[in-house]
Structure 1
Amino acid sequence: MQNTRRAPEVLSPAGTLEKLKVAFDYGADAVFIGGQAYGLRSRAGNFSFEEMSEGVSYAESHNGHLYVAANMVTHEGNEEGAGEWFRKLRDIGIHAVIISDPALVAICVAEAPGLPIHLSTQASATNYETLEFWKSLGLERVVLAREVSMAELAEIRKNTNVQIEAFVHGAMCISYSGRCVLSNYMSLRDANRGGCSQSCRWKYDLYDLPFGQERRSIKGGIPEEFSMSAVDMSMIEHIPDMIENGVDSLKIEGRMKSIHYVSTVTMVYRAAVDAYLESPEKFESIKPDLVKELWKVAQRELDTGFYYGVPDENKQLFGARRKIPEYKFVGEVVSFDAKTMTATIRQRNVIMEGDIIEFYGPGFRHFETKVLNLRLAATGELIDRAPKPMELLLIDLPEAVEVGDMIRKNGESLINLYQPDGKSMTVRA
């Protein structure tokens, strides 16, 4: 491996302006968002030009960058107005646009000169010759296909100076680089033009179809129907490989995820990068805590995707869940009075007197405490239970917190552990 040891960019997703600000607050160097045209997440909270402008200002106040995904596959007529749209992004101050379709690349180069272009993972770049081709057209960065192995990544880095962006965390697609038409058939929603209904995540049955006879459902030894759903990617234990092989940007997937997800995953990868750059020994010492932290947010099971071999059937979601996150997000700190050691929090889920809750914040700060003297911020009235989302509450604390710190609690969930005999057992978290 090359000993580059350069600090890679931590690149986080944001589906809303709130999530964008949280990502930067929790350590992102850059954030990628979607606009209201040309993207692949039509159901995400896509940004207006006004929100983009505010996002640019917030990014720059944190010495960060803001990128806009415009990675749809265009059919005839879809590209109309793209030139004006790209010029608007450039003039707002967007730091780069992420594109997969050559037509949109050509339009952006011709009609919005000065706006940097990153090649989307949808374009399936899997070798250095491809990166050199796009470099010749003026692109400065390529997002590698998720199907690239670590050995291939190392070879690509040795043979090109194009910036490399690679996914390190988030959802995997059952189709090659996400170029799928299953949604088109199953729900008449074009996955390549922003309408994916995630048909691969649905549950399907298997049928025996003897010639000339009625079809019969086949019930096998697994406790749920057949699916084509892949586990999520997590490279948190392999950040050294990403850094040593010269990856310029570590990309976290999830523009439709919660602020709990964005804050936690961003914080964890920020801590991982900083620790490894300080020393490999420091990274190894905190690695178990990083893994544990990631399992506090809702997600599918985790694996390393294609980096260390082609995924087998154990990298698919079937049968009972082998591991389930136990924590749920319950609130965030709005203000803190250091004299009275009282926090004002905005509630997101039910909080009860006596709950054991965890506060966490940027810089990998954590502590647990019991909810004591729970009361309404508006009246000071003591309450046993706060069920109303977004209500302002007061809590007495043993330690100081900061505005923007998040709160979660360990729920009463059951963890399902899949057994080799096809049965499942449950243990209380």
Structure 2
Amino acid sequence: MTVLMAPGGTLDMALRAFERGADSVFVGPKGWSRRPASDELTDAEIGELIRQAKLQGKDVRIAINVMPAPSEVDAFLAKIEPYAEWGAGGVMVCDPGLIPLVRKRFPQLEIHVSVTAGVFNTEDIGFYDELGADYVVLPYRWGVAEAEEIRRASPMKLEAFMFQTSHRGRICPGRCYSSSYFHVKHFRDEDAKDHFVGSASRGGSCYRICRVEWSLRSGDYQHPQAPTLKSSPELLLWELPEYVAMGVERFKIPGRERSPELVADIVGFYRRALDHVLAGNPNMCGFASEWEDLKARWTGERTGRDDDRVVRAELAA
């Protein structure tokens, strides 16, 4: 089965995604999913979403992709327990040491290797397969050729982002700690979870300082071109027929930090585009104009969000 999976940064966003044709949504529990609290859900909201998804024959996945300290491992597993009991379909994890623990304690859940695990090659994917993961999320810097290589080399199910980077940057998702060096504050909640604001890997959110304009100097010499630490992804379109042909199981729309209106429109667009391809029509030209409009809206919202993050980082420093 080919699944279209959408983001749920809020309960409203998740429900709109279902209405516009998503088969599945992914959400993050507050403090456990590398996003600001405004883009994460409470347990009560997650429980309600799972209930409504079941009524529609749809599915919810939980992004719990942080790297807990040793003292937080028990809290991490306890956090997953109600989601498994309520009927979540799976969890997205980035810490390899936790995958065998989740596999043993929650055998009914499918385990996704989060893009924030920083997968680099097929050997990495074999490693996660041996640990007990079910899905590997293709890094959005990869393309069709890399996906085909994985499909040939591993039985892991594939989850493809619906966006890609046209120019490869220097930052790998999940392997960047520059925001943590810039500024971190933390507080401990009633469940003994430390919330590290400014450190996504510890349950906070990145300040996006890679998106500011940097200069490159060596002694008195300044390089004439500013380096691109992280380029802005673009929504994917033309590769969609090839991904479908190779049997990619899940197509993931990112954007928990986007507006519900934009996410709903993107979900509706990809529902139609994916159904078009699944019906045996590989020509995507009819979607190009709408695709360009959505890309412009996507970039505009991203730029505004990142600029705000940088300002907040400067104020916090």
Which TM class, normalised by the smaller chain length?
0.7 to 0.9
Which runs of 5 or more residues in structure 2 are unaligned?
185-197, 304-317
SS of 2:72 mapped into structure 1: coil
Measure how far apart 1:253 and its partner are. Answer: 1.3
Kindly provide the amino acid, as one letter, of the partner of residue 212 in structure 2: W
- Who is 2:201 aligned against? 192
1:186 alignment partner AA: F
Does residue 140 (structure 1) correspond to residue 149 (structure 2)? The answer is no
Q: How does 1:20-35 map to 2 (within 5 A)?
A: 20-35=14-29
Question: Distance in 1 between the 2:50 and 2:18 partners?
Answer: 11
Letter in 1 for 2:28: G
Shift in Å at residue 219 of structure 1? 11
Q: How does 1:119-268 map to 2 (within 5 A)?
A: 119-169=113-163, 174-188=170-184, 189-193=198-202, 194-205=204-215, 209-210=219-220, 228-268=229-269
Deviation, structure 1 residue 19: 0.2
| Total equivalences in the alignment | 287
Counterpart check, 1:18 vs 2:12: yes
SS in 2 for 1:147: coil
The answer on whether the counterparts of 1:26 and 1:263 sit within 8 Å (CA) in structure 2 is yes
- Structure 2 CA distance for aligned equivalents of residues 279 and 293 of structure 1: 25
Partners in 2 of 1:284 and 1:87 — Cα distance?
42
3-state DSSP class of the match of 1:79?
helix
* Structure with greater contact order relative to length (CA < 8 Å, sep ≥ 6): 2
SS at match of 1:236: coil
Between structures 1 and 2, the one with greater strand share? 1
Q: Distance in 2 between matches of 1:79 and 1:151?
A: 37
Q: 1:56 Cα deviation (Å)? A: 0.8
Q: What does the per-residue CA deviation read over 1:193-239, in whole Å, with 9 as the maximum and x for residues that have no partner?
A: 233111111233566753xxxxx9x796x8xx776341213221221
Per-residue CA deviations over 1:300-350 (Å, capped at 9, x if unaligned) read 699xxxxxxxxxxxxxx9xxxxxxxxxxxxxxxxxxxxxxxxxxxxxxxxx
Question: The residue matched to 2:71 in structure 1 has which SS?
Answer: coil
Helix, strand or coil at the partner of 2:229: coil
1:278 has 2:274 as partner: no
1:114 aligned partner: 108
TM-score for the superposition, normalised by structure 1: 0.60
Displaced runs of 4+ in structure 1, greater than 6 A? 170-173
Distance change >3 Å, CA 226–CA 146, structure 1 → 2? closer
In structure 1, C-alpha distance between the alignment counterparts of 2:170 and 2:72, rounded to whole Å: 26
Give 3-state SS (helix, strand or coil) of 1:287's partner. Answer: helix
Deviation per residue, 1:83-119 (Å, 9 max, x gap)? 2212111112111010011232233223333222111
Query: How far did 1:293 drift?
Result: 4.2
Which residue, 22, 39, 62 being the options, matches 1:45? 39
Residue aligning to 1:351:
none
Q: Which amino acid aligns with 1:204?
A: W
1:86 to 1:203, Cα distance in 2 relative to 1, 3 A: same
Q: Residue 118 of structure 1 aligns to which amino acid in structure 2?
A: H
CA–CA distance in structure 2, aligned partners of residues 68 and 173 of structure 1: 28
SS of aligned partner of 1:177: coil
1:353-392 CA distance string (max 9 Å, x none): xxxxxxxxxxxxxxxxxxxxxxxxxxxxxxxxxxxxxxxx
Q: 1:285 to 1:236 in 2, by over 3 A?
A: closer
Contact 1:180-1:191 at 8 Å conserved across structures: no
- The 1:147–1:208 alpha-carbon spacing in structure 2 relative to 1, beyond 3 Å, is closer
- Rg: which structure is higher? 1
Q: CA deviation at 1:290?
A: 3.8
* Paired position in structure 1 for 2:190: none
The TM-score normalised by the length of structure 2 is: 0.80
Could you tell me whether the CA contact under 8 Å between 1:206 and 1:226 is conserved in 2? yes
Task: Write the letter of the residue equivalent to 2:270.
Answer: Y
Which whole-Å CA distance do the structure 2 matches of 1:290 and 1:60 have between them?
32
- Residue correspondence of structure 1 range 17-96 to structure 2 within 5 A: 17-96=11-90
Matches of 2:182 and 2:106, distance apart in 1: 37
Partner of 1:366: none
Q: Distance in 1 between matches of 2:298 and 2:158?
A: 28
1:108/1:240 Cα in 2 relative to 1: closer, same or farther (>3 Å)? same
Q: Tell me if structure 2 keeps the 8 A contact 1:9–1:250.
A: yes
2:24, 2:58 within 8 Å by CA — same for their partners in 1?
Answer: yes
Contact 1:179 / 1:192 at 8 angstroms: preserved in 2? no
- Does the CA-based 8 Å contact 2:26-2:61 persist in structure 1? yes
Q: Is the 8 A contact 1:167 1:253 kept in 2?
A: yes
Residues 208 and 29 from structure 1, CA distance in 2 versus in 1: closer, same or farther, beyond 3 angstroms?
A: same
Q: 1:207 and 1:132, CA in 2 relative to 1: closer, same or farther beyond 3 A?
A: closer
Q: Give the 5 Å matches for 1:368-407.
A: none
Counterpart AA for 1:258:
S
Deviates more, 1:35-44 or 1:194-203: 35-44
